Amino acid sequence: MSHINKKNLILPSNLYKVYWLGRYVERVDSVSRALLSSLYSLKQLKSEEPLMALADSLGIEFTKHEKFIEDILHGDIPSSILYSVRHMRTNAIGLGIERLVRESNILVIAVEERPRLNEIDEVIKHANDIIAAINNFGRVINEEIAPPKISEEKMRQQTRHQQQ
């Protein structure tokens, strides 16, 4: 059982953790999807242009695609996926919600895997695995800390009350 309940989420220290947890989830998702798209371009079009553009947008120097892929996946830089999932896990641990901690650990393990960087299909599979893990993590966030859903009837009542 978690040592935090949903009522305690509104404490400033917990709101801070939830905020950063969400920011890191967004970053991992967007960088992973951009990387995957760029990898498909590399594979199908034999073009490094999208990888170069992604490197430029993230402030990573591009020398050759294997080095860039290593940096974006596992680099010790704020724009790397591993950097973000480790910080995401720190915030999940701080919230103390067991399922979030467990799923963030699974995500870190998924990212830490090291595909052969010269095998684009392997790197594409790795990026897809990261995206699947982050989607699952997002589902767990919704189940564990999202506010409860308000029924249609209750929403209509609140709207009528506000109009009066």
Give the range of the structural domain holding residue 159, as residue numbers without chain letter.
6-163
Q: pTM to 2 decimals?
A: 0.83
Is 110 among the domain residues?
Answer: yes
DSSP states along 104-162: HHHHHHHHH----TT-HHHHHHHHHHHHHHHHHHHHHHHHHHSPPPPPHHHHHHHHHHH
Is 11 among the domain residues?
Answer: yes
Report pLDDT digits (tens) over 102-143. Answer: 999 999 999 999 999 999 999 999 999 999 999 999 999 988
What local confidence, expressed as pLDDT, does residue 1 receive? 39
Is 145 among the domain residues?
Answer: yes
Is 41 among the domain residues?
Answer: yes
What is the CATH classification number for the domain harbouring 68? Answer: 1.20.120
Report pLDDT digits (tens) over 72-92. Answer: 999 999 999 999 999 999 999
Number of structural domains in the chain:
1
Rounded to the nearest 5°, which phi and psi values hold at 146? -70, 150
Is 125 among the domain residues?
Answer: yes
Decide: 28 and 88 in contact? Cβ < 8 Å: yes
Is 44 among the domain residues?
Answer: yes
Is 113 among the domain residues?
Answer: yes
d(CA 38, CA 35): 5
d(CA 114, CA 123): 9
Q: Which two tokens stand for residue 108?
A: 């870190």
Is 1 among the domain residues?
Answer: no
